[in-house]
Structure formats: C-alpha cells, structure tokens
Amino acid sequence: MSRKVTKAIFPVAGLGTRFLPATKSIPKEIMTLVDRPLIQYAIDEARAAGIKEFIFVTSRGKGALEDYFDHAHELESNLKKANKTELLDILRSTNMDSGAIAYIRQHKALGLGHAVWCARRLVGNEPFAVILTDDVIMGEPPCLQQMIEAYQETGGSMVATMEVPSEKTKAYGVLDIAEDMGAIVRARGMVEKPKENPPSNLAVIGRYILAPSVMQNLNKLKQGSGGEIQLTDAIADEIEEGRDVFGLRFRGERFDCGSKAGFLQATVAFGLARDDLKHEFGEYLEDIMSMRKAAE
C-alpha cells in the first residue's frame, strides 16, 4: 500500500456553542484569527503537507463555510480595476479549484469518530489525514508536514502528541507508550479522557494520519466515552489487531481555539508574529501590562 497521503478530512459539523452569540450567524470555523478564518489556517497547513483533496464533514448552517472557498468574481474584478494587486493575491490564495473540496453532511452529532466515518466512501482504501480546526498549531515546518515526513519512515498510523500536566489528561485522548524513541513514540494503547490513572501525560492533539483499516474499525459504530463514537477507540483497535500506531512530538505551539481563552492567546501569538503588526501591537500589550502592574 502506498504511503502517499493526498486526502484530508476536516470535521466541521460542530455548532460552536462556546462562542455564542457569534456562532448564531456564522460557523465557528469562519471566525477570524487576526485576519484569516480558522479554516484557512487548517487548509494552508494541509496544502503545505501535499494534500490535494479536501473533505469537509459539515452540518446544517455551514453555507458560509462553503462560500468562503468559492471564487468572488465581482470582488476580484473590483480589486483588479483598482490595481490593488497585493489584496488581489491575498484573495486568490483563498480560492480552491473546482472539485478540490467535497462536502458531506453529518446528520447526527455522534462524535468525532462518526464524523470521520461519514467520509469513508471518499477516502476509499488509502491512508488519509484528519485535521481538527480548533487546534491551531504554530510550527515550522507546519505540524502536518512534520507528521507526513515521519510517517514516510514509520508507516502505520500516526497522531500528533504533546505533553500536558497530569491533571489535564482527562480532557484528552492519552497514549500508553510501548517505546519512546524521542520525537516518535510507539503506542501500546490509547485511552480517551481517562478519569484517573492516565497511562502517560502524552496527549493526542487534533492531527492524524490514519491507515484505511481505521475506517473499517469505525464501521463497527461502537459507542465509547460519552456515548459517542470515538476516533481514539478506532485507533486503539489498530494496536489490538497488531498494527502500528505512533505518536509524534511535533515542534511548535498548539492553541486550543475551541475555547475563548485559547482563541485570545492565539490572537496575541499570531499578531506578534506578523511583521506588519508586531511593533504597534507589542507596544500596546506592554502598555497594558505596565498599567496593570502600576494598579497593583
């Protein structure tokens, strides 16, 4: 079986209730981090890793998400007439070729594993990536590219991992480590949101490269933690059936943009990383901190 990964699944069917009232009218994935929506960061990361086919698992009310990647002919024409070439280039970078994106509906919110399973016919018998847009990762090279490069050596399935405090492991899927090889670990098992006695403090983050056999495991539609169909369980089945699963300690910083605090932290980090913003924005942040210290 080829190890070339050209397809990626983006589960974007969630309602984004933690960001109400903003998500009353727009999908959470369209909310902007500095001046780009969350979904653009995910798409750019996938493109950098060589992904050619993008599969969005959506739900009702996600029309704005589909429109975002369409060509805005009138806007492009106006920018061209105004000779605003820089803005025109930025706009065109968001366009996707006809047929590059496929949209599939998840009609019932039955968990991440179910969302991935919904794309089974488009994936076929090929390895595929899964990207969770809530997890925005600042890294160079981008996280999925790091994983693709490691996967070419290991095969099997691979998840992105990072160390978290033991008391926070209950919010993640956690690896049981069979062999620690530094940047790469071989997994003995995986536990979804362990309530106590986590097998390690190595948490699974929202990037995956999965063998097609994971889809066969998801076909069982087995309910796991929270009564949902968990992707973690389907990956753990790979290990039980004697197939390799690896974790990659990626190089970079991950932001949980599914939470308001994480979204704000990402805004500061990405704003300070921008040459056109870092000086003015940095001075403003320094002024705020100075005033806070003075008030204390």
Measured CA to CA, the distance from residue 249 to residue 253 in angstroms comes to 11
**What tens digit of pLDDT does each residue of 50-72 get?**
999 999 998 887 788 888 887 77
**What tens digit of pLDDT does each residue of 7-40 get?**
999 999 887 888 889 888 888 899 999 989 999 9
Name the helix (H) or strand (E) containing 191: strand 184-192
Measured CA to CA, the distance from residue 122 to residue 176 in angstroms comes to 31
- Residue 19: burial class (beta carbons within 10 Å; 0-12, 13-18, 19+): middle
Averaged pLDDT, 74-92: 84
Q: Tell whether 268 is covered by a domain.
A: no
Q: Tell whether 295 is covered by a domain.
A: no
Q: Given this model, what pLDDT does residue 70 score?
A: 78
Q: Tell whether 160 is covered by a domain.
A: yes
Q: Tell whether 270 is covered by a domain.
A: no
Averaged pLDDT, 133-148: 94
**What tens digit of pLDDT does each residue of 287-296 get?**
999 988 888 7
**What tens digit of pLDDT does each residue of 244-266 get?**
999 999 999 999 999 999 999 99
- Check if the beta carbon of residue 147 is closer than 8 Å to that of residue 249: no
- Residue 1: burial class (beta carbons within 10 Å; 0-12, 13-18, 19+): exposed
The number of distinct structural domains making up the chain is 1
- Check if the beta carbon of residue 156 is closer than 8 Å to that of residue 246: yes
Measured CA to CA, the distance from residue 180 to residue 195 in angstroms comes to 24
Q: Tell whether 272 is covered by a domain.
A: no
Query: Cα–Cα distances in Å, from 209 out to 61, 155, 288?
Result: 28, 9, 42
Tokens matching residue 106: 């998840």
Name the residue with higher pLDDT: 270 or 292: 270
Domain that holds residue 78: 7-258
pTM score, two decimals?
0.89
Query: Cα–Cα distances in Å, from 280 out to 35, 86, 87, 263?
Result: 16, 21, 21, 20
Averaged pLDDT, 174-203: 89
Q: Tell whether 190 is covered by a domain.
A: yes
Q: Tell whether 275 is covered by a domain.
A: no
CATH number at residue 189: 3.90.550.10
Tokens matching residue 156: 């099997």
Confidence of residue 225 (pLDDT cuts 50, 70, 90): low
